[in-house]
Amino acid sequence: MENKEKYYKALIENDGQLNEIDLGEKIGLNEDETNEIIVQLLSEHKIEYAENRACNYSLMKRVRKKNKFSVNAHLS
């Protein structure tokens, strides 16, 4: 888990500069470990496959949730 968070933070800072394998190697992961972490992040919807310069993965854009009280305000 620690490696996954470390890789995720590195991916944010990387901003598409290094490819995903080189990025993993930069933080001490081998190719298999990096691929395993990528699969986990994809399944958690934290990243998506998208060609982003050198790196083929980018962060998922977060969808804002509407204020839960706005629906109730319209009902009153």
Cβ-proximal residues to 52 (8 Å cutoff; 6+ apart), any chain? 16, 58
For the stretch 5-43, pLDDT in tens is 999 999 999 988 999 999 999 999 999 999 999 999 999
Phi, psi of 16 (to 5 degrees): 80, 5
Domain boundaries, the chain: 2-59
- Higher local confidence (pLDDT), 68 or 48: 48
Per the structure block, which two tokens stand in for 43? 């399944």
Q: Which contacts (CB < 8 Å, 24+ apart) does range 67-75 have?
A: none
